[in-house]
Amino acid sequence: MLGLLILLVIIFALVIGLDYYNHYKDPRRIIDRIFPGPFRIPIVGNALIAACSREAFYRVYLNLSKSYDYKPFRLWFLKQPYVFISDYENTKKILSSNDLLDKAEDYRYFEPWLGQGLLTSKGDKWRRDRKIITPAFHFQILHRFFQIFYDNGEIFCEKLTAHDGGDVFDVFEYIEMLTLDNLCNAALKLDIQAQLNPFSALVCAIQNMGVVIYNRIFTLWLRYDAMFRLSSTARLQKKCLEIIHGNDVKIIRERKEEMKTKQPKLKTMEFDEKEKVAFLDLLLEMQDDVGYTDEDIREQLDTFMFAGHDTVTATLGFLIYSLAEHPDVQEKVYRELLDIYGESERCPNFSDLQDMKYTEQVIKETLRLYTVVTAVARRVEEDFELSEHQVVPKGVEIVLLLSALHRNPEIFPNPDIFDPDRFSPEVNQERDSFAFVPFSAGSRNCIGQKFAMHEMKITVYKIVKKFKLSISDKPEDKVRTRTGVVLSSTNGIRIKVQSRKKKTPSKLADQ
């Protein structure tokens, strides 16, 4: 017995010794002297901070940034060192740099799903694809989607009507279907009618893939491919990918068939006509010219299904909740809508959306307080100097903690308070543009930013014009933010709706 104990102690000492030796040899360990950070435990580093619920983990990162006074700090996750940034000077330096365009290693966990789509690709492939895809999201063509967002918003409101005057309910699933319809109809020209026939298998598979990726990044043993392959998470991934990729193959096949008969060939079009081609058709039309395989197209399709769906769903959820939680803000939005549209129910045009200035402030404040892409990460391929001459050595990953950046009290006083006036033109003017980057910034910024802003404005117009939103007083009905591939609420988005139409016109005028 004693012998076994001694053997265990020796093995333990050897493992720790080996870890110290490897760490000592690792040139990246210089970050321990440059940046503050919690004590690095041998072997696991600081990875144990992730051993908590997703709700708690969201707070852990915010609290860490706060405890380091929003200055850069470092963490080790197993053998990988990370430098975390939550100040706008460094955010600006990093996002403006052409040397930091490649994503961090952790994005490899997206690859079984998204392959080398626009979000995950690197170097020349990313540059070429971004150039090809950009015209499909150019602001000059986005007005073609307004009617789609408007019509889908109408169906969404019909769903809400079923809860008119009733008790609190979870609106999240309706939002998921709405944004899926918006994305598929507008960007992909696919009429899947998710709102009418809830597309649950696909949506569930996309949701579960988010959980798979989150678990792979933050569960120690799942970071090792060999261990992952043996896990139930791998089985879940396989099941989800069968559904998602099976759906893609079907979409691409059907679209190709349709295009043979209906679509004029891109080569025979004038330039401005080319810009009107939906994103998916654009890729299919250019397939031969740029040498895309069906697999390349599938990867881009999945990338847009993921990047353009979950993000808008989450933000719209928090936006609707914030409007319901703050009746004064909601009332100001409603007044603005009355000023722009009067009693008319018409589809908004470009100038209407530009006039929705207060609504835009509310959306921005939602994106600040509920930054759904909580962090973006880059791999340092060559030593990179931060703003105070601190050098991040090659091989370290830089994580921009957007959610912490947006809660820096020096930039956003009382950061936990929801206050759309922070984004009034006067206040905006005094703030550096890199202090608020929910869509990231620089060359690898979000390609769908304008698409998302228009979609959210039109949805707010549809809902607030028709309903008064409120929340219940019960603590269990409040949102509870939890981290994930995108931020979400553990207990959904629970609101009440009351139709405005029930009021007499005179009462409406009195409001």
Q: Which of residues 65, 152, 303, 481 is near ligand HEM by CB under 6 A? A: 303
x/- contact string, 187-206, with ligand HEM (CB under 6 A)? x-------------------
Tell me the residue length of the chain: 511
Distances (CA, A) of 258 to 128, 227, 281, 299, 305: 27, 44, 10, 21, 21
Residue with nearest beta carbon to ligand HEM? 448
Kindly identify the residues of this chain, within the stretch 400-439, that bind ligand HEM according to CB under 6 A: 438-439
The reply on whether position 469 binds ligand HEM by CB under 6 A is no
| Nearest distance, CB of residue 95 and ligand HEM, angstroms | 9
Residue written as token pair 């069968």? 242
| Interface with ligand HEM (CB under 6 A), residue from 37, 45, 153, 308 | 308
Q: Is 446 annotated as a binding residue?
A: yes
- Least Å distance, CB 360 to ligand HEM, is 13
**Closer Cβ to ligand HEM, 168 or 333, answer by number:** 333
Q: Among residues 100 and 205, whose Cβ is nearest to ligand HEM?
A: 100
User: Hey, what are 182's tokens?
Assistant: 């918006």
* Cβ 377 to ligand HEM shortest distance, Å: 7
CB of 243 to ligand HEM, least distance (A): 21
Q: Are the C-beta atoms of residues 96 and 386 closer than 8 Å to each other?
A: no
| 240 versus 405: smaller Cβ distance to ligand HEM | 405
CA–CA dist 427, 424 (Å, integer): 5
> Which residue among 212, 280, 305, 447 contacts ligand HEM (CB under 6 A)?
447
Least separation in angstroms between residue 448's CB and ligand HEM is: 2
| Residue 168 vs 362, nearer CB to ligand HEM | 362
3-state SS class at 473:
coil
307 is a contact residue toward ligand HEM (CB under 6 A): yes
**Could you count the other beta carbons within 10 Å of the beta carbon of residue 372?**
24
**The two structure tokens encoding residue 314:** 């989450």
Rounded to the nearest 10 degrees, the angle between the axes of helix 200-218 and helix 172-186 is 100
Whether residue 323 contacts residue 329, with contact meaning beta carbons closer than 8 Å, is answered with: yes
Residue 376 interacting with ligand HEM (CB under 6 A): yes
Backbone angles phi, psi at 247, to 5 degrees: -65, -40
Give the residues across from 496 on adjacent strands: 470
Among 251, 320, 446, 460, binds ligand HEM (CB under 6 A): 446
Count Cα atoms within 13 angstroms, Cβ side, for 418: 20
**Could you tell me the strand order of the sheet in which 397-401 lies?**
73-77, 80-85, 397-401, 375-379
Give 405-426 as a DSSP string.
HTT-TTTSSSTTS--GGGGSHH
* Structure-token match 């491919």, residue found: 225
Q: Which stretch binds ligand HEM (CB under 6 A): 193-201, 310-318, 322-330, 348-356?
A: 310-318
Number of residues that bind ligand HEM (CB under 6 A): 23
Give the nearer residue to ligand HEM in terms of CB position, either 91 or 315.
Answer: 315
Q: Does 462 bind ligand HEM (CB under 6 A)?
A: no
Sequence-ordered strand ranges (E) for 202-268? none
Type of residue found at 188: L
Counting contacts by CB under 6 A, is residue 312 touching ligand HEM? yes
Measured CA to CA, the distance from residue 64 to residue 70 in angstroms comes to 8
Interface with ligand HEM (CB under 6 A), residue from 119, 157, 177, 282: 119
Which of 311, 483, 488, 489 is close enough to bind ligand HEM by CB under 6 A? 311
**Neighbour-count burial of 374, counting CB atoms closer than 10 A to its CB (0-12 exposed, 13-18 middle, 19+ buried):** buried
Q: HSE of 364 in the Cβ direction (CA atoms, 13 Å)?
A: 21
Site string for ligand HEM, 142-181 (x = CB under 6 A): ----------------------------------------
Which residue numbers belong to the known binding site for heme? Answer: 446
| Residues at the contact surface with ligand HEM, assessed by CB under 6 A | 118-119, 130, 187, 303-304, 307-308, 311-312, 315, 372-373, 376, 438-440, 444, 446-448, 451-452
